[in-house]
Amino acid sequence: MTPARAGTAAAALVLGVLGGLSLAAPGSLPRLGPFLDPAHGVFAVARTAELPAHALADIPHLGAPVEVRYDARGVPHIFAAGELDAIRALGYVVARDRLFQLELQARAGAGTLTELVGARALPLDQETRALGLPDAAERSLAALGDTTRGRRLIEAYADGVNAWIDQLARAQLPLEYRLLGRRPARWAPENALHLFNRMGWVLTQSDLERRKAAAAALVGPAAADFLYPVESPLQEPIQPSGLGAPRAGTEPVPEPGPPAPDTVLAMEPAGAPASDHALGSNNWAVGPRRSATGHALLAGDPHLELTLPSIWYEAHLVVPDSLDVHGVTIPGAPAIVIGFTRQLAWTFTNVEADLQDRWLEVVDDATRPARYRLDGTWRPLRTRVETYRGPGGAVLAVDTLRFTHRGPLTRGADGRWVSLRWTVLEAAPALDALAAAARAADARAWLATMRAWAAPPQNLLVADRAGHIALRSTGRFPRRPTARGDHYLRGDTSATDWAGDWTVAEMPQAQDPPQGFVASANQQPVDPAEFPRYLGAGWLSPWRALRINALLRSHDTVTVDDMRRFQTDPRSAAAERFVPAFLAAAAARAGSDTLARAAALLAEWNGEFTVDNRRAVLFEAAVDALQERLWDELAGDGTGSRRAVPRPALVLAWRLLAVPASKWWDHPSTSRVEDRDDVLAEALVAAYHAVRERHGDPAGDGWRWGAVRTVSIPHLLHLPGFGAGGLAVQGGSTTLNPVTAGGGFGASWRMVVELGDSVRAWGTYPGGQSGNPASRRYLDRLPLWVEGDLAPLTSPGTVGAVGESSAALTLRPAP
Amino acid sequence: MAKSPPSGKRFPVRTYVFFGVLALVLLGFLWDGSPLGSLAVRKAVTAKFSTVRRVSPDELVAWSRDPNRPPPLLVDFRPPEQYRMSHIDGAVNVDPAAPDLAGLRRVTPETPLVVYDGPGLLGAAMVSGLSEAGFTRVSHLEGGLFRWVNEGHPVVDDAGPTTAVHPINFWWGRLLKSAHHP
């Protein structure tokens, strides 16, 4: 097979991953000949899988030698004389272990995947560029200037990455490059910006406007607002409300109504994923008063797509008298993103805020507009030409992008032109904020430094050795003169434009609150009864938030081990609410033996999603069947604007439990009128039949949760044999440790920190430090993660304190 | 407590038999104007699950007090330990795990039976055994014992009136008012 053929085959795999296009059909796999070539095939990959006991390398611009010691868990402890040197070393060690991942992630954000894998990545690159991400990265780079701290950090990181690439021996070339028949590209400093843009895209992309318009085309605007509400119907806010308990909304529920007459289809509807996706995260901290040892405790577990290698890489940076930070970085980021110092610890969850607004623009030409209408005058559109190149440099395609003063302008499926404004495209670079915050003396100073954090907004949680705990939903939240941002806005007037940002004081926050703990799990951050300003709509169901708050309220002497156990707690706040509803419906609609049998089986459940549990499967199936039947109004029929829209969050179904005769319960397709208990009973019976059919006898092993719901962690390229599948893990769709039906999302990093006289930390992630599948460090952390266990994260202060080291690396200034 | 049955006194079985026979004669004609057919037909009728009649707690109280109707025999279809904790006064226990109709041996097939469980699930097992034994007048207490006590009707144990009702387990117990949890 020629390298080009192999490259094409591997490109199909890349697309399968990045686009979720499932192109990794067996027929497109590369032939094994060159792959098994003893000189530079997979055997070379195996030979270079482990780090040599001693290694030496030169790095340009290094101010002084840097010593690196890898501990038994493969964590590099970097001892440098200056912070920029530490970042150079970080770039070097990350490249050494994760080179292909570095390039792939940066290219995804830069929209240059075609240069690595060829024309089949073109649609992905075109989407990335049409969103204006590379354009924004260029402007961010210009705004950084040549001498700022942020600029020096990304250049230092590039020094390290390129030092590894430049001295890379052919035998050290990672597997993926061999499959693609490519060599790694040199690392540009702005790749860090592309990476942050990519993270911004992953964490803030939303289609609220389209979703609401599509729902309004089926059930009318009031019902659409109910389905993706501005206020979650069940309030358990991040900023403690003082109630000490969740608050149920009492606003009347609008019934499904006649379709809205004028429906915007400004974007082609994508698939219809459920609204409660598994991208989310948990974090919480308890103050000294509620901790068993009298020290503050902090825990965090960000939930992201799980891949091998993992999105996270663990490292420890030490600069005497300046910096001592241990935690995880994302390959390409010149900082520890989540971690701890000798003084404090911090972790993030995503703020599910609405950061994208869309305007229907009036343009001068329906197909090739040059101007747009604003306040009675025509304004020119800014244009930008995007050129897509193949691996050999050949031009694959050229696009002309148009921008209004708001942002990129795209033409929708119905021919209308829509401009997008998105905070990620305007983020002031905060690359140096994380690095600077790691030098903070306490939680207050850390939070003050992180004021510069703009996008993607995060619920920043920090705890320090003095016992302070604090949480703040931090980022750039636009003020909207239109009051809301979940509907398409009029573009021909500047009166609809954003008018400034929330101040730091307005951001949802809590410092050492009387309840003695703080927690977040991507729920609506502040109860609108306290601060009724629009921050977003269509919030995730608050099940994880309810559960962690219930656990923390009921434990007033929390231990480190409690914190660890809570991360994989097997119970669900959704189950507590839905199981009684199913059982009450079964009693109220008694009459079928199957219903009685299903209800009896469900009632046998102890409410836990443990691996050996044999009843959780029935609950998950029943909730799924319930949503399918309840939201039948949203299926659409595919004609005109009547397209299927995504299921609303499960908490909306919970809201309807209190309205048993709502028209939402009735099936439009039947002549009789169904109510809540009819639909609950139907769903339970349907679930019973489905589970019996798929998993056999209720007493059998087929009903074991660990046999039904498993986690799969694919290789970044979905290379067969290099992923880990069928992992039985404690948790369900609505538990603190989310284990969803797709099985590919979950806790990408777990950390618990005790802020005592000395700071002690534990953590793990599902994978290993090495990106080389032949390495023993590729999957070595997986068993611990599957068990919900954590490893001690040791942070030796000096080279001599490292103890037994698995490998040593000395970095010297390049002559 | 206006809805409560008049007393905790049990009726002798022969009373049930008497009223059962009376009910057979009366209801047999009232049903659809034709006399009841063979035992096989009666079995078929009662075994057909959906035709089992339902009676609400209030209707049961009214029925029990109605001198013009044969009083029903109550069948408590729950495990013995749940029955021992409390039951509706006069109810005969039949253990679902080992259905033994010995307690009903002296009752005629035409005796009206009202069967109940905890939450009011109408399982086939609850009535099929009784139908197979030839009982033709099987009714089902809507909402079971939980609804009965939730609506304020009394229960008894060996010592007399009580408030506690066996919640079965955590989830089913959620359907039972907290005042009735043991």
At residue A69, does pLDDT exceed 50?
A: yes
Inspect the interface and report whether the beta carbons of B175 and A587 lie closer than 8 Å. Answer: yes
Closest CA to A345 of A797, A788, A760: A760
Average pLDDT over residues B76-95: 94
Q: Residue B103: exposed, middle, or buried by beta-carbon count in 10 A (0-12, 13-18, 19+)?
A: middle
Place of tokens 């909304």: A249
Average pLDDT over residues B89-95: 92
- The first and second tokens of residue A440, run together, are 């903070």
- The first and second tokens of residue A510, run together, are 């809590």
pLDDT at res. B102: 74
Cis? peptide before A309, omega within 30° of 0: yes
Q: What are phi and psi of A577, to 5 degrees?
A: -95, -35
Average pLDDT over residues A261-265: 69
> What are A148-186's pLDDT values in tens digits?
999 999 999 999 999 999 999 988 999 999 988 999 999
pLDDT at res. B12: 56
Average pLDDT over residues A7-17: 42
- The first and second tokens of residue A590, run together, are 């008694």
> What are A647-699's pLDDT values in tens digits?
899 999 999 999 999 999 999 999 999 999 999 999 999 999 999 999 999 99
Q: Helices A593-603 and A573-588: crossing angle, nearest 10°? A: 150
- DSSP letter assigned to residue B76: E
> What are A327-347's pLDDT values in tens digits?
999 999 999 999 999 999 999
**Lowest-confidence pick of A218-232, A259-273, A515-529:** A259-273
Q: What are phi and psi of A297, to 5 degrees?
A: -125, 145
With contacts defined as CB-CB under 8 Å, which chain B residues touch A606? 170
Q: Let me know: does A477 contact A535? Beta carbons within 8 Å.
A: yes
Cis? peptide before A646, omega within 30° of 0: no
pLDDT at res. B125: 67
How close, in Å, is residue B170 to chain A by CA atoms? 8
Under DSSP, is residue A708 helix (H, G, I), strand (E, B) or coil? helix
Calculate the dihedral angle through the C-alpha atoms of B82, B88, B89, B93, rounding to the nearest 10 degrees: -50
**Lowest-confidence pick of A6-15, A425-434, B56-65, B146-155:** A6-15
Tell me which range, A44-58, A421-435, A522-536, B111-125, is most confidently predicted by mean pLDDT.
A522-536
Q: How many CB pairs under 8 A join A and B?
A: 59
Q: How many CB atoms lie within 10 A of CB B39?
A: 11
pLDDT at res. A803: 81
Alpha helices in chain B (DSSP H): 13-32, 39-47, 57-65, 80-85, 124-132, 144-150, 170-173
Instruction: Name the residue of chain B whose CA is nearest to A681's CA.
Output: B121
| Alpha-carbon torsion (A544, A546, A549, A552), positive or negative | negative
At residue A742, does pLDDT exceed 90?
A: no
| Alpha-carbon torsion (A470, A475, A476, A477), positive or negative | negative
> What are A23-53's pLDDT values in tens digits?
233 333 344 444 555 555 566 777 788 999 9
- Domain A573-708 fold is 1.10.1400
At residue A443, does pLDDT exceed 50?
A: yes
Distance separating alpha carbons of residues A374 and A492, to the nearest angstrom: 4
Q: What is the DSSP string of A372-383?
A: EEETTEEEEPEE
pLDDT at res. A520: 98
Under DSSP, is residue A545 helix (H, G, I), strand (E, B) or coil? helix
- Strands A66-70, A807-813: parallel, antiparallel or unpaired by DSSP? antiparallel
Inspect the interface and report whether the beta carbons of A597 and B123 lie closer than 8 Å. Answer: yes
| Alpha-carbon torsion (A365, A366, A370, A371), positive or negative | positive
With contacts defined as CB-CB under 8 Å, which chain A residues touch B142? 590
C-alpha pair distances (Å), A530 with each of A51, A353, A533, A785, B62: 55, 17, 9, 39, 52
With contacts defined as CB-CB under 8 Å, which chain B residues touch A680? none
- The first and second tokens of residue A87, run together, are 């970042």
Cis? peptide before A369, omega within 30° of 0: no
Place of tokens 């061999």: A178
Chain mean position to CA A346: 17
Q: Let me know: does B15 contact B111? Beta carbons within 8 Å.
A: no
Q: Which superfamily does CATH assign the domain made up of A47-204+806-813 to?
A: Penicillin Amidohydrolase, domain 1 (1.10.439.10)
Average pLDDT over residues A300-320: 96
Average pLDDT over residues A435-464: 95
Q: In chain A, what are the domain boundaries?
A: 47-204+806-813, 357-424, 573-708
| Residue A786 backbone zone (phi > 0: left; psi -120 to 50: alpha; other: beta) | alpha
Q: Let me know: does B109 contact B134? Beta carbons within 8 Å.
A: yes
Under DSSP, is residue A188 helix (H, G, I), strand (E, B) or coil? coil
- The first and second tokens of residue A395, run together, are 């031009």
Residue A602, chain B, CB below 8 Å: the answer is: yes
- Domain B34-180 fold is Oxidized Rhodanese; domain 1 (3.40.250)
pLDDT at res. B7: 43
* Amino acid letter, A324: D
A579 — pLDDT class (breaks 50, 70, 90): very high
With contacts defined as CB-CB under 8 Å, which chain A residues touch B119? 583, 586-587, 599
At residue B39, does pLDDT exceed 60?
A: no
pLDDT at res. B27: 40
Alpha helices in A55-184 (DSSP H): 83-110, 114-117, 122-130, 133-144, 149-166, 175-180
Average pLDDT over residues A574-584: 97
At residue A7, does pLDDT exceed 50?
A: no
Q: Which of A590, A606, A607 is nearest residue B121 as measured by Cβ atoms?
A: A590
Distance separating alpha carbons of residues B120 and A587, to the nearest angstrom: 5
pLDDT at res. A804: 79
How close, in Å, is residue A730 to chain B by CA atoms? 21
**Lowest-confidence pick of A111-120, A597-606, A610-619, B15-24:** B15-24
Q: Let me know: does A205 contact A197? Beta carbons within 8 Å.
A: no
B48 — pLDDT class (breaks 50, 70, 90): very low
Which residues sit opposite A323 in a β-bridge?
A: A319
Residue of B56, B169, B170, B171 to mutate for A, most A C-beta atoms under 10 A: B171
Distance separating alpha carbons of residues A172 and A162, to the nearest angstrom: 14
Percent of chain A with pLDDT over 70: 92
With contacts defined as CB-CB under 8 Å, which chain A residues touch B124? 593, 596
pLDDT at res. B29: 36
- The first and second tokens of residue B81, run together, are 């330990």
Average pLDDT over residues A137-148: 92
Closest CA to A710 of A737, A734, A730: A730
> What are A349-404's pLDDT values in tens digits?
999 999 999 999 999 999 999 999 999 999 999 999 999 999 999 999 999 999 99
Under DSSP, is residue A310 helix (H, G, I), strand (E, B) or coil? coil
pLDDT at res. A25: 30
Q: Let me know: does B91 contact B75? Beta carbons within 8 Å.
A: yes
Q: Let me know: does A66 contact A86? Beta carbons within 8 Å.
A: yes
A275 — pLDDT class (breaks 50, 70, 90): low
What ipTM was assigned to the predicted interfaces of this complex?
0.72
Average pLDDT over residues A403-431: 90
* Amino acid letter, A448: A
Distance separating alpha carbons of residues A410 and A420, to the nearest angstrom: 8
B105 — pLDDT class (breaks 50, 70, 90): confident
Provide the mean pLDDT of chain A: 91
> What are B5-35's pLDDT values in tens digits?
444 445 555 555 555 544 444 443 333 333 3
* Amino acid letter, A768: G
B133 — pLDDT class (breaks 50, 70, 90): confident
Who has greater pLDDT, A261 or A767? A767
Q: Let me know: does A31 contact A2? Beta carbons within 8 Å.
A: no
Q: What are phi and psi of A379, to 5 degrees?
A: -115, 145
Provide the mean pLDDT of chain B: 76
- Domain A357-424 fold is Penicillin G acylase, beta-roll domain (2.30.120)
- Strands B113-116, B138-141: parallel, antiparallel or unpaired by DSSP? parallel
